[in-house]
Amino acid sequence: MRYKRNQFQKRGGRKNFSGGLNFGRKKGVNTERVKSVFLWIGEILLTIGVAAVLVYYFGVRIPVVGQSMSGTLENGETILVNRFAYQLFQPKPNDIIVFLPNGNKKSHYYIKRVIAVPGDTVQIIDGKVYVNGREFEEEIENPYMENGLLAEEPIVVGEDEYFVLGDNRNNSEDSRYANIGNVKKEHIEGKAWLLVSPLERFGLIR
């Protein structure tokens, strides 16, 4: 013990810790690297957000069920729906819309062509469609309608309602039928705008 004490005293009464750990050291933070990481994360989140918005408003895929739009759209084909269009504008005559009949969420989506808009009067006379007393200007060739059903008598289209018909007029359940009637805007999913499947038929819907 005396020997150790003497050695300690010879060194000036202090232990030399110069070779030990220095807990007082501070490591520098690379702020540029941190900024780049946050910028990278922000870009990823922005990309995901933009993609999600585009898919929600323009990329909803809807299958065509039945032959009611035959000539324009065929059974089993797949279309994309533009949900954004009617956030800014109102459906207009000859638009092809996608809707749930009477808002029934258990039903498949219906796809029909708008014939008349709020305030219009529709009537089917001798197999032809008349809107406000004038023959409707079709953008497609249509066969003679064998049965006007409800529209054999004048139908006034109410506020936020639309009278619709299928392009295959003699094989379409549409506004001529009591269980469909005029379509309320709140039940419209959007505008059919792009045919995506099959690929050989890919293109804008008119």
> pLDDT tens across 52-89, in order?
665 666 678 999 999 999 999 999 999 999 998 898 89
Percent of residues, the chain, with pLDDT higher than 70: 81
Distance CA 69, CA 75 (A): 8
Distance CA 121, CA 107 (A): 28
Distance CA 97, CA 83 (A): 10
Q: Per the residue annotation, which of 4, 18, 35, 68 is the catalytic one?
A: 68
68 flagged as catalytic: yes
Higher per-residue confidence, 29 vs 167: 167
pLDDT at 29 over 60: yes
Query: Residue 85 in contact with residue 98, Cβ under 8 Å?
Result: no
Q: Per the residue annotation, which of 4, 18, 107, 112 is the catalytic one?
A: 112
Interval 103-109 mean pLDDT: 92
- Of the pLDDT bands very low, low, confident and very high (cuts 50, 70, 90), residue 34 is confident
Closest residue by Cα to residue 55 from 92, 79, 80 = 80
- Of the pLDDT bands very low, low, confident and very high (cuts 50, 70, 90), residue 181 is very high
Ramachandran category for residue 102: left, alpha or beta (phi over 0 → left; psi -120 to 50 → alpha): left
pLDDT at position 17 is: 47
Higher per-residue confidence, 147 vs 3: 147
